[in-house]
Amino acid sequence: TVGALHAFFVAGTEFTDACKEYPVVWVKAGERADGKPQVAPIAVFGLVAGQNLCIDGDAWRVRYVPAALRLYPFGLARVQQDQMVVCIDESWPGFQDTEGEALFNAQGEPTDFTKGVQQQLETFELEVERTRLAGEVLVDKGLLRDMRFDATLPDGNKLTVDGFLTVDDEKLAALSDAAVVAMQRNGLLGLIHAHQISLGNMARLVEWHVARLGTAPAA
């Protein structure tokens, strides 16, 4: 369930909105053909597995929800190298055959609603690919390093969050002027700045984590 998600993928075009609500970091997501790690950006919802601090009861307590979650229960699946199909999770509670938006008309053709969903999914898929390529640049330039976040809770217990990747400020500062200008023009520098700003949201997650444990934050 969404309430058990402690992180979720965000595309590069979402960074501007996501950085205001969540820590946005990268994680390793497999290996490229050249042996280098494949990375993907995620919005962090919680500080431990199975914990979504950004949901209070049944409602989100943040203003921005990642696009892939908003598009659920719809998704795209690749059936051939150049062909993708729209899929739906039929186990979703809102999926029924008595009321709501029809997916197909009486002739068995997709309705305008379904066509609209397909267009949104295809647009998002393009953004996913651009985001993947941006991650390759970060890896190729050696700009990512392991990230560790430590916090002391009001009861004295320690909380450590790791497994994420963050931008290495020293390596970023060591780039040539030409490289920085190129990253500014292709939008990658903007993603980096949004990521750096987003890290301030870790403190808010700690506050929410403490509140969920039933203890009061330290004065």
pLDDT at 64: 98
Query: Does residue 218 belong to any structural domain of this protein?
Result: no
Backbone angles phi, psi at 36, to 5 degrees: -80, 155
Predicted model pTM: 0.87
Query: Does residue 27 belong to any structural domain of this protein?
Result: yes
Q: What is the pLDDT of residues 110-167, one digit of tens each?
A: 889 889 999 999 999 999 999 999 999 999 999 999 999 998 888 888 999 999 999 9
Q: What is the pLDDT of residues 33-91, one digit of tens each?
A: 999 999 999 999 999 999 999 999 889 999 999 999 999 989 888 887 778 888 888 88
Radius of gyration of the chain (CA): 20
Q: Is the dihedral of CA 12, 14, 17, 20 positive or negative?
A: negative
Query: Does residue 208 belong to any structural domain of this protein?
Result: yes
Query: Does residue 188 belong to any structural domain of this protein?
Result: yes
pLDDT at 215: 47
Query: Does residue 102 belong to any structural domain of this protein?
Result: yes
Rounded to whole angstroms, how far apart are CA atoms 135 and 120? 23
Number of domains in the chain: 1
**CB atoms inside a 10 Å sphere around CB 34:** 8
Query: Does residue 20 belong to any structural domain of this protein?
Result: yes
Query: Does residue 92 belong to any structural domain of this protein?
Result: yes
Query: HSE on the CB side for 117, CA within 13 Å?
Result: 21
Preceding omega of 73 cis (within 30 degrees of 0): yes
**Mean pLDDT, rounded, for 24-35:** 96
What residues make up the domain containing 140?
A: 2-213
Query: Does residue 219 belong to any structural domain of this protein?
Result: no
Q: Is the dihedral of CA 196, 199, 200, 201 positive or negative?
A: positive
Rounded to whole angstroms, how far apart are CA atoms 21 and 19? 5
